[in-house]
Chain A
Amino acid sequence: MKAAVIVFPGLNRDRDMIAALTKIGGSKPAIVWHQDADIPDADLIVIPGGFSYGDYLRCGAIAARSPIMDKLRERAAQGVKVLGVCNGFQILIEAGLLPGALMRNMSLKFVCREVKLEVVNADTDFTRGYAKGQIIRCPVAHHDGNYFADAETLKRIEGEGRVAFRYAEGTNPNGSINDIAGIFNENKNVLGLMPHPENLIEAAHGGEDGRALFAAALQQVA
């Protein structure tokens, strides 16, 4: 199973993501700089977190219009798995690969803490390592993670099983509508989430709750 990580100027969680993919996948992912002409052959393409282009204009807005994103869009349409974490989620939303918008946290504060997540849909290539309804721990670190979608879009993504994770046990850190922490595209091969599962994958992190997501995403498709 091959993985690739796309890096934009201003990201700062790429190192953690590469370490997690290497540790769980057994080999180092390909690193793709945003100016590269193409993305190497990969079964999982990841956009990590950080502050691409200094969050200018809107979080993820500039990165989402990079030429490399057209390549990503092609791969996603072919069914390649795409994962966006934190700023990566914001970039996927700005690129139109996922619906809705991520707005300033309702508290207006940057939140950096651990939250609880409920696994809402465990029947996907990303989440099959969890059980439906399972509560997992996960760190968050963001200023603009307040998920918003209009009523019609919300009804659609809820109805189609496209909510991957919900903030649980009153830990919603940002005011997201319906406590949404992560969503899928229509075909469930694109996942975006604000929390950082790559930061809870080994005992030294204080837990391994994030590990199953990468183990599933990196698993060979039968």
Chain B
Amino acid sequence: MKARVIVTLKNGVLDPQGQAIEGSLASLSFGGVSNVRQGKVFDFEIEGTDEQAARSQIKAMCEKLLANTVIENFAIEISH
């Protein structure tokens, strides 16, 4: 199975990098863009066919390493 984990900053956590990117987009004349937030994507393969088991394993991986749950949320996508 292929898995994708998307880690994003929680609402209310200041994202100076997102703000800098937003400013840069504006300077490139891309109008109407607001609330830019920068995140991370992890793609990997995981053995097995049981999607539920994989999902709970990946959730544990996120909580223990991939995300800092003090400031970040995570979302898990699995495809076969």
Contact = CB atoms under 8 A, between A and B. Distances in A.
Interface string B45-80: 000000000000000000011101011000000000
B16 A104 contact: yes
Given A108-B16, A108-B20, A149 B65 contact: no
B14 A61 contact: no
B34 interface: no
Nearest to B12: A150
A150 B17 contact: no
Contacts of A101: 68, 70-71
A108 B13 CA distance: 15
A19 interface: no
Interface in A108-149: 108, 148-149
A61 B65 contact: yes
B16 A106 contact: yes
A65 B64 contact: yes
B47 to A, nearest CB: 22
Contacts of B70: 99-101, 148-150
A28 interface: no
A175 B14 contact: yes
Size band of the interface chain B makes with A: 10 to 19
A100 B13 CA distance: 12
Interface residues of A, number: 18
A149 B66 CA distance: 19
A131 B9 CA distance: 38
Contacts of A175: 14, 16
B24 to A, nearest CB: 12
A17 to B, nearest CB: 25
A103 B65 contact: no
B68 A61 contact: yes
Contacts of A150: 70
Interface of A: 57-58, 61, 65, 94, 99-101, 103-108, 148-150, 175
14 contacts: A57-B65, A58-B68, A65-B65, A100-B70, A101-B70, A103-B13, A104-B17, A105-B16, A106-B16, A108-B20, A148-B13, A148-B71, A175-B14, A175-B16
